[in-house]
Structure 1
């Protein structure tokens, strides 16, 4: 395919965007045979199927999803150019498509993305949360520019996937005020039999916590296992149980959830990574995030709070 037929690409994009040939025809005011015929020609020129049928629905194939992501960006740029030529200003600025692993602490993810929000140049972030495996697939298809995760990608994820270590944080125990008052003294021995909210076993932190309990001969009374870190903190704020989180965001946790820190889980750390499809970074917003993290962000955040 030496040259893209942008009219065909546009028809494909409209079908994918609106979910069916019929819906695209309504939008474009064209007959169904016209769209169907042009779509078939486009698939032939691409050399791959872009849709597959599931019942009456058209579903994008893996190649179709990759083409759709490129088409989405192409036509967004086209609209921006049109506004510029008409003398309109655009607030779109630079665009960053970022994925956040569902096991990634959301307060940490926000801290990492904060530099993008503070740039003088306008920037637009599209942020999606999903399973690590699905986000890695999106990176391979160039559906997202970068993902944030609590574990590095393994070699099995693909030869064009690269890990960028951002930093680490000690892990601490938090609790709602009534529970905090009960379990503050003689920490951590007082935690034996205490009610706990723990991440699920597929979360990297859980393995470290289980080992920490075993090493200190602590048997927690597990009230719930919660994969999503924000939901786990919400349960904790309601007094359901004690919970663990990164020491780096202790002040935000106390302010947002009203749950003071009881103490550190000595020897337990959470590590954080940016994962991209390129070793050499070209996207300025991705570079801004990595540079901010590497300039001692986690060292600064992990300093103890003044005693109160």
Structure 2
């Protein structure tokens, strides 16, 4: 590849966004044989398949996803250039593509990201929520700059990734006021037989909680196992059961979900990691997140 044909790249970008050549033809106002022919030439020029069929829809291959992410950036910049030349203000600044794992408490994620929103230089943040393994695959393809996770990446992820420990937070038990009254006396012994909403077994917190239950000789009644931390709290707000969360965001949890903090769980902490493709944090926004975490964000206490 000596020179990239941007017209072909544009055709690919539209086809990928639409998921089919026929829909792309409607947008581009071109005949299907024209698009198919130009797309075949582009794949030959790239030297790799970019799209594959799944049922009636076209989906990106790994190489296709990489090319698509660059195309998205290229044509977004092109639109901004057009707006600028027309005299329109675009507020263009840094871009941060950020992955957040399902199990990571979203209030903690916001606390980590929030300093970026107060910077003098604007930052455009793209947030993606998914399972850890999928997000780590996106880092390997350079589609994501950073993943915020409750567990570190391991060699089994299949990519050379680097873990940056952001900190750890003590964990407490939360409940609606009516449930809280029933289980507040003689805490934590009162939790034996209590209804609980627990994170799924593939999370680091769940493994720690299972050990804690065993050490305290407690037998919870598991009402539901929920991987998504926000959905778990929504169940908790409805009074389905008690749930665990970091106490550093206790005030925000109680205000948002109408709950109360019953007490802290001794010996159980939740750790948080920033995962990148480089050991040195080259993206300035990633460095800001790490610096903010290291400046007391995870200190003991609820704020």
> Fold conserved (TM > 0.5)?
yes
Give the CA deviation at 1:210. Answer: 0.9
**Which residue of the partner structure matches residue 105 of structure 1?**
105
The 5 A counterparts of 1:1-308 are 1-299=1-299, 302-303=300-301
User: After the TM superposition, which parts of structure 1 deviate over 4 Å for at least 4 consecutive aligned residues?
Assistant: none
Give the CA deviation at 1:122. Answer: 2.2
Figure out how many residues of one structure are paired with residues of the other and give that number.
Answer: 303
> Aligned-residue CA RMSD in angstroms?
1.5
SS across alignment from 2:298: helix
Native 8 Å contact 2:195 2:222 kept in 1: yes
Give the CA deviation at 1:288. Answer: 1.4
SS across alignment from 2:218: coil
Give the CA deviation at 1:44. Answer: 0.9
Give the CA deviation at 1:144. Answer: 1.4
Select between 101-110 and 1-10 the one with higher mean Cα deviation.
1-10
Deviations along 1:114-143, one digit per CA (max 9) or x if unpaired, are: 111222222221111111111111111112
Cα 1:251–1:279 shift into 2, 3 Å = same
Give the CA deviation at 1:179. Answer: 1.6
Return the TM-score normalized by structure 2: 0.95
Q: How far, CA to CA, are the matches of 2:227 and 2:147 in structure 1?
A: 18
Select between 149-158 and 264-273 the one with higher mean Cα deviation.
149-158
Give the CA deviation at 1:55. Answer: 3.6
Q: Structure 1 unaligned segments of length 5 or more: list them.
A: none
Q: How far, CA to CA, are the matches of 1:194 and 1:275 in structure 2?
A: 36
Give the CA deviation at 1:58. Answer: 2.0
